Amino acid sequence: MSEVFNEIMPGAQAVAESVTRKRAALEAKHIILTDCPGDVAAYLPKYHHTMHEIIEIGPWQSYGAFREGAGRNMTRLFLSDEARVACAEELSRLTDTQKRASYLFSYEDAADWIHANVESEVMSVLVPLSMFATDPDAFRSQFLEERSKRFVTLEEAASKGKSPARTPLSKWRVTRILPASVQSELGRWQEDYNAERERQGVAWPNPTSLTVDFPEGVLARYKAMKELAPTTAQARATVLFEGFSVHREVGHTQAYCRRHYTPGLAHPLEGL
């Protein structure tokens, strides 16, 4: 009996140690492992998104960019074959793609990771003019009335094959009820930008940016610059003049780390 024990135990011990090492290595990669396959069901309400789904809602260009960044330490649930059998009923509520995935992620964890590891900056902010009005409700009412009339004018001109010049908002009649100090600043952004172009001596100057905190627990539709407009010049104008936020992973040194954009610190209020 002792001879059999001595022959079997060393091999069993080696296997056990190997399993322990592999488990520790997986847990070090922030992979959730369960002692019982059926325990996976408790994690599925939170962890049921594929890597592709996470990449789609995050500031990553590709699978490689995700793996080299957030993929290094974002928690994910390991879905073993045993777990698929034990949790068949719970998994039936997922999509086919989710059920086939080896690892499942959480949108909540993704939002937390982005908040902690992505820097956000803005170079302009969209602010509703009604914030500066003495009577915001009256201002909005007059704005909507004037906008409606201008739309009618544009439609009538279009029906006659004409293309009337569009009047910038800073020149609308409704702005006359704003305080004089505000009126004097309306429509001055282009002047400021031209002055910055002259100061920097370049065609496309970057105004001084402001670092902002991205809201916690929020996911955005991040876009690459090429998705903002057909040309680079138009895309840059969109970022500069429409209050877009610029996002990039902390560090800015990795080759895979590219800028992404979202409609930024805008305060939309009836189109103002």
pLDDT in tens, 114-153: 888 888 888 888 888 889 999 999 999 999 999 999 889 8
Q: 94 is written with which tokens?
A: 């997922």
Mean pLDDT along residues 56-66: 81
Nearest to 176 by CA among 218, 151, 143, 215: 143
Q: 22 is written with which tokens?
A: 């592999």
Compare 81 and 164 and report the one with higher pLDDT: 81
pLDDT at 271 over 90: no
Sign of CA dihedral 90, 94, 99, 101: negative
For 205-260, write each residue's pLDDT tens digit: 878 888 888 777 777 788 888 888 899 888 888 888 888 888 888 776 665 667 88
Q: What is the pLDDT of residue 209?
A: 84
Q: How far apart are the first and last CA of the chain?
A: 88
Q: What is the pLDDT of residue 16?
A: 45
With cut-offs at 50, 70 and 90, classify the pLDDT of residue 89: very high
pTM metric for this prediction: 0.66
Q: What is the pLDDT of residue 96?
A: 93
Q: What is the pLDDT of residue 185?
A: 86
Q: Please give the share of the chain, as a percent, with pLDDT higher than 70.
A: 83
One-letter-per-residue 3-state SS of 159-196: HCCCCCCCCCHHHCHHHHHCCHHHHCCCCCHHHHHHHH
pLDDT at 104 over 70: yes
With cut-offs at 50, 70 and 90, classify the pLDDT of residue 15: very low
Q: What is the pLDDT of residue 13?
A: 53
SS3 at position 8: helix
Q: What is the pLDDT of residue 9?
A: 52
